[in-house]
Amino acid sequence: MPELPEVETVRRQLINLIRDETIARVEAPFPPIITHDLHWFQDTIKDQVIRDLDRKGKFLIFMLDRHAMIIHLRMEGRFHIKKDEPVLKHEHAIFHFASGRNLRYHDVRKFGRITLVEKDRVMHHPGIAALAPEPKHLDVNHFYRRLKHKRVAVKTALLDQRLVAGLGNIYVDETLFHAGIHPKRLTSSLTKKQVVRMVEHATHVLARAVELGGATIRSYQAITGVHGRFQNELAVHTKKDEPCPICQTPIIKIKVGGRGTYVCPKCQQ
């Protein structure tokens, strides 16, 4: 699944390709990908210009003239820019531009959804309204108090977008390794110092991943087909049986909340 660094990479690459394009018409070979009546959506978005492309957590927000189009890539969503090419099986929404090019939303699992809202209603979108701040914007004292009042595994807490936005499986594993915290540790047992360290490492891990264009693991690739490079710097994620980069103990894989989780059993006791 694309996580915050991958979605930010898509945003940065895509805006340079589609800014100021006028949407002439929209096709939806798989109508449920649009959360509205299809005809209303097509009529409303027609002739609007893409002015900017924003991001909140893992949501992409296309800023148009009068509306904002909100898209979550879910498991395997991605975009392609094409012109005069046949529609492929998994291209479920096609935005035809007045220039003759088109933007295609490709999603093998069909989990993604496209929503259109008035521009001043973006923060009222249910998914966005529920988002907590990203690590770099967290009030650490408030975050610490919220964790102390919970009794869940710290990995489960970090994956909860209502507590902290933008962290997914890859980056939680990396954050907890660098912070020296076991993913099954209960949040109520964390010290203030550990929470501060965890937030600092989460901020650094995400920033470094954005700098390197995300991590190309499984199905993710950015809009232009340029693969991310952060996977070359992963310390534990996907590294089962490989030596820990700090103590050389073999990395193990466990399950936390049903998610495959990579841990150094010595550094993260």
pLDDT per residue as tens, the chain (269 positions): 678 888 898 899 899 999 999 999 999 999 999 999 999 999 999 999 999 999 999 899 999 999 999 999 887 888 999 998 999 999 999 999 999 999 999 999 899 899 999 999 999 999 999 999 999 999 999 999 999 999 999 999 999 999 999 999 999 999 999 999 999 999 999 999 999 999 999 999 999 999 988 776 444 444 555 456 788 889 999 999 999 999 999 999 999 999 999 999 999 99
| 259 is an active site residue | yes
The one catalytic residue in 11, 58, 155, 239 is: 58
| 3 is an active site residue | yes
Res 213: pLDDT: 81
Q: Are 236 and 214 in contact (CB under 8 A)?
A: no
Res 43: pLDDT: 98
Res 73: pLDDT: 86
Phi, psi at 99, each rounded to 5°: -75, -10
Which amino acid, residue 108?
V
Strand 259-263 versus strand 91-97 pairing type: unpaired
DSSP 83: S
Question: 4-129 — its CATH code?
Answer: 3.20.190.10
- The reply to whether domains 4-129 and 135-263 share a CATH topology is no
Res 1: pLDDT: 60
Termini Cα distance of the chain:
28
Res 214: pLDDT: 78
Res 222: pLDDT: 46
Tell me the pTM: 0.88
Q: Of 188, 163, 187, 161, nearest to 176 (Cα)?
A: 187
d(CA 145, CA 244): 32
Beta-sheet strands, E only, within 75-203: 78-82, 91-97, 102-106, 113-118
C-alpha dihedral sign at 19, 103, 3, 224: negative
The one catalytic residue in 2, 5, 135, 183 is: 2
d(CA 8, CA 211): 10
Q: 246: Cβ–Cβ under 8 A, 6 or more apart, which residues?
A: 264, 267
Domain ranges of the chain: 4-129, 135-263
| 2 is an active site residue | yes
Q: Is 104 helix (H, G, I), strand (E, B) or coil?
A: strand
Residue 232: CA count within 13 A, CB half-sphere: 6
The one catalytic residue in 185, 253, 259, 265 is: 259
> CA–CA distance from 145 to each of 139, 149, 181, 183, 200 (Å)?
10, 6, 18, 19, 17
Q: Are 13 and 223 in contact (CB under 8 A)?
A: yes
Its CATH architecture, for the domain 135-263, is: Orthogonal Bundle (1.10)
Please name the helix (run of DSSP H) or strand (run of DSSP E) that holds residue 147, with its range, or none: helix 140-148
Res 100: pLDDT: 97
d(CA 169, CA 108): 20
Tokens for 6, please give them. 């991958």
